[in-house]
Chain A
Amino acid sequence: MKSGRAATFGKSATQFLVGCVRQVVTAKPRTEPDAGLLEAVKPWQQVFEHNPVMYFMVDRAGTVINVNSFGAAQLGYTAAELIGRSVMGVFFEEDRDFVRSCVALCLKTIDQSHTWEIRKVRKDGSVLWVRENAKAMLRADGEPLVLVACENITERKEAENALRQSEAYLAQAQELSHTGSFGWSAATGEITWSKETYRIFQFEEGIKPEIPRMLERIHPEDRPAVLRTTGRAARECKDYDHEYRLVMGDGSIKYVRAVARAARDASGQVEFVGSVSDITATKEAERRLRDSEQRFRDYAETASDWFWETGPDHRVTQVSEHSDTITAPAGLIGLTRWDIAPDAALEPEKWQEHRAALDAHVPFRDLVYRSRDRNGQPIYVRTSGKPIFGADGTFLGYRGVCTDVTAAIRADQAEAALRKAQAELAHVTRVTTLGELTASIAHEINQPLAAVIANADACLGWLQRSPPDIQAARRSVEWIIEDGTRASDVIRRVRALAKRTEVEMAPLDVNGVVREAVALVQREMASHAVSIRMELSSALPKIVGDRIQLQQVLINLIMNGIEAMESVNDRPRELAIRSAASGDGAMLLSVSDCGVGICEQSIDRLFTPFFTTKSSGMGMGLSICRSIIEAHGGRLSAAPNQGRGATFQITLPLDREETS
């Protein structure tokens, strides 16, 4: 900060002081003091000492020749401490050159007064602002002497500083808040702007703001409104508050809000003092918020979902409005969720769990319950929610979303019903197939039983010999056991096929399934003079499937093949079953016959229910087979062979766990 400035001064304390000193000085020589003179000087001495003005007498070199007690005390010294020392000691280092130049000026212009303002340093280091009046005079011996009278201006300086600072603060605050201030005299049209206002309008500082220039800045669409508002305010001496847009030099748009207070000046003219804020960021945020709100409203309205809020007592306080749906239930306000759901009593566990979650104020997800839509139709609702808390952490309730999942649940139920129906149908056709196989199955059981009886008779025969052949008898009994086991195996397999069981998916060796199926139709093939050729790949990974259903499919395909070869008499009736890995995470299983074959046109219809070329049978077999294979994630297709007959091919996915 600039320390002060030298100035010539007129009649002042210095002048008075100089007068006194001159008297004293001219009254000398000290060597012979005049008693009368001394008496005359005394009062002035007192004045010098105690006048509440700091007086310094300094010689050419700046040494303090004299200082009054008041002055010394002001600086925290005694007069004795200062006298004889350089006056520079009471100035700040950085101000000393200025002091020297001031002293030099005084010395150059003897008898002329100068004044300046400067800081002094107290003994304790604190600052003392002074206004100094100084004047050099020549002593009798011709040595110049500088007389300085200092007036304490610290308070004023501090007030000035404070003002300056407050102005700086204000400017900074304006800059930070993007708010400028202005004054407008409606009568004269005079406008004053703060720095920030200039910045907002992007006008060069110092150029006088004028209404036409301002209007130019304002968006053309907003100009009429601005003029209307300000015009009326000026006429009626009313406050105003309006928003408008500015078009900046680069074409960008700035939103501003101007607020002004009307007042009348001393002459009764209307004047305004106000602020202009750059609210572009706010506007932008508002727009974004509005967009986002709109977006969520759009989502909410198009997503047939509805939003809800519950209070701390879990009663519904708000449900989002839906313009075009009847799904969202009405009249829920004030109810709890368990008041709404008719299944609350039926599934107490579910609701206990849910209420525990609510009481713990934790989020919940995907609670499904039954409710009714606006028309009173039963619906299934799935809801998720999260707790809301106030700023002070108090629990305010929950907020969440509900979805009508009736269709999905109905579809699930329908699918489950379909699956069940399919399984039942599969069972029925399986039993039907078994019925067709009765003769073969009877034979399969009768054969080992006949063997058992024959072996038992033989055993008796061996025992009746003399001597009895015990070894042969034992062997006979062993064979009886073997054949008995075989008979019971057949019965077990048949029962497994006949039983209505849940579909049981398990890792399976397909070749094993093939062998078991073939065992059941062995006789059927034999009696139709059909020979079977099995080409089963030995290195097949397992598949996941239901053993019984897959056997059913195979038996069906084999029976089909046997029937297709019924009329074949000119060539061996051969049925080939092949299994192989297909290389793409699947395996192939095929049943080929050399029978009458199938025509391309009927392939598609082959798998439709009730399609049959036979006089007996429902025509469900292949349709069931396909649905079974598809339930296994596979495919069943049919194709005519190159030569004669047809091939039915099954593709089944391999067990992922095993292949991975």
Chain B
Amino acid sequence: MTERARPSPPQEDGDEPIVFVVDDDASMRRALTNLFESVGLKVEAFGSAPQLLQAKPPEVPSCLVLDIRLPGVSGLDLQADLAKANIHTPIIFITGHGDIPMTVRAMKSGAIDFLTKPVRDQDILDAVQAAIERDRKRRDLNRTVSTLRSRFESLSSRERDVLSLVTSGLMNKQVAAKLGLAEITVKIYRGQIMRKMGAKSLAELVRMSEALGIGPNKSDVQT
């Protein structure tokens, strides 16, 4: 079903972005593919939402160009399905005729843009560019967080308790008192944590814990 006429872009670093096009109209699908390819973007086109869902989630920065009135599963339904599947690829909706409730729903659900057909090439190319950029950033952030997470996961449970209390701003003495440890023991844990997390300062450690979403409020040690 998908017609791909790709100008075979070089696979440089495996980070080449992909534009996913989902449109039930073959000629529209073909035209969008052609347009994106003409500016050097890699495109994958699908005739329906289920076809897209069956495809492997992208490993590279990408965005989704969706016809909002897809037959069967509509563009909005697909948006919801993707969110459920924890796929956060930015979505650009295209529709033949502006539909305010749909637009609102789409934007609330995190759509990047909402374009009406026929789209101006600059508008859609800008939108795609922006979406890909956003996805790239999201991916970078995700990558950092997951490094921190794996470091965090290398900590022992006592070390995690100490980290939680230290990053909440308690002094070593206070931490020791809370955990019923000697102050010196806390100091040793603290050194091990700094080393395991790769933090050079307490301030960095605090940022890391914030990125990981662990703070004093979430600590289970609070009684």
Contact = CB atoms under 8 A, between A and B. Distances in A.
Contact of A461 (B5, B27, B32, B38): B38
A480 to B, nearest CB: 9
Interface string B53-75: 00000000000000001011000
> Which 8 pairs across A and B sit closest by C-beta, in order of nearness?
A461-B38, A457-B121, A454-B31, A450-B118, A451-B31, A458-B34, A526-B71, A458-B38
Contact of A446 (B5, B7, B34, B117): B117
A414 interface: no
Given A453-B118, A454-B34, A443 B5 contact: no
A448 B71 contact: no
B159 interface: no
B28 A451 contact: yes
B38 A459 contact: yes
Interface in B57-114: 69, 71-72, 96-97
A529 interface: yes
Contact of B69 (A451, A482, A526): A526
Contacts of B34: 454-455, 458, 472, 475-476, 479
A448 B27 contact: yes
Contact of B27 (A476, A486, A526): A486
A457 B27 contact: no
Interface residues of B, number: 24
A495 B118 CA distance: 23
A305 to B, nearest CB: 69
Instruction: Say what secondary structure dominates the interface of chain B.
Output: loop
Contacts of B25: 447, 451
A526 B24 contact: yes
Contacts of A140: none
Given A455-B35, A472-B34, 5 more contacts: A450-B119, A454-B28, A457-B121, A461-B39, A479-B34
B118 A455 contact: no
A442 B96 contact: yes
Contacts of A475: 5, 34
A523 to B, nearest CB: 9
- Size class of the contact patch on chain A: 20 to 34
B37 interface: yes
Interface string B31-50: 11011011110000000000
A462 interface: yes
A450 B119 CA distance: 7
Contacts of B30: 451, 455, 479
Contacts of B24: 526
Nearest to B122: A457
Contacts of A447: 25, 27-28, 96, 117
A35 to B, nearest CB: 170
Contacts of B32: 454
B95 to A, nearest CB: 10
B117 A457 contact: no
A450 B23 CA distance: 12
Nearest to B28: A451
A124 to B, nearest CB: 128
A439 interface: yes
Contacts of A462: 38
A453 B124 CA distance: 12
Contacts of A448: 27
A453 B32 CA distance: 10
25 contacts: A442-B96, A442-B97, A446-B118, A447-B25, A448-B27, A451-B27, A453-B31, A453-B118, A453-B119, A454-B31, A454-B32, A454-B119, A454-B121, A458-B31, A458-B121, A461-B39, A462-B38, A465-B40, A472-B34, A479-B30, A479-B34, A482-B27, A486-B27, A529-B71, A531-B72
Contacts of A446: 96-97, 117-118
Contact of A439 (B27, B28, B38, B97): B97
